Amino acid sequence: MQVSMSLVCLTRLTMSDHHSARCQCGGLVARCEGEPTGIVQCHCSACKRRTGSPFGLGAYFDRAKVEIRGVSQRFVRKADSGGDFI
């Protein structure tokens, strides 16, 4: 299983041994060890709306290398293709 993190929230995006991200209020924090297994750029309408730009960026990390602190909720939305995007 992999975990996606929005690059908009990454506090460090350089070659390093870890990356960290947090929500705007700081109530949810993620720390990822190592480099992402993948980085994506998406032009779907939901990513455009979420970022306020022509595209959204995301980084994927192996779940075993991610530590999450704080309370989170799971949001599911319909992708432009009609499938669920988690």
Per-residue pLDDT of 46-83, as tens digits, reads 888 888 899 888 888 999 999 999 987 777 777 778 88
Task: For residue 22, count other CB atoms closer than 10 A to its CB.
Answer: 16
**pLDDT digits 0-9 by tens, 3-41:** 555 534 444 445 568 888 888 788 889 999 998 899 989
CA distance 76 to 49: 15
In a domain, 29, yes or no: yes
In a domain, 14, yes or no: yes
In a domain, 79, yes or no: no
User: Domain tally for the chain?
Assistant: 1
In a domain, 58, yes or no: yes
Domain hosting 29: range is 2-71
CA distance 83 to 31: 29
In a domain, 83, yes or no: no
Residue of 18, 11, 17, 5 whose CA lies nearest to 60: 5
In a domain, 77, yes or no: no
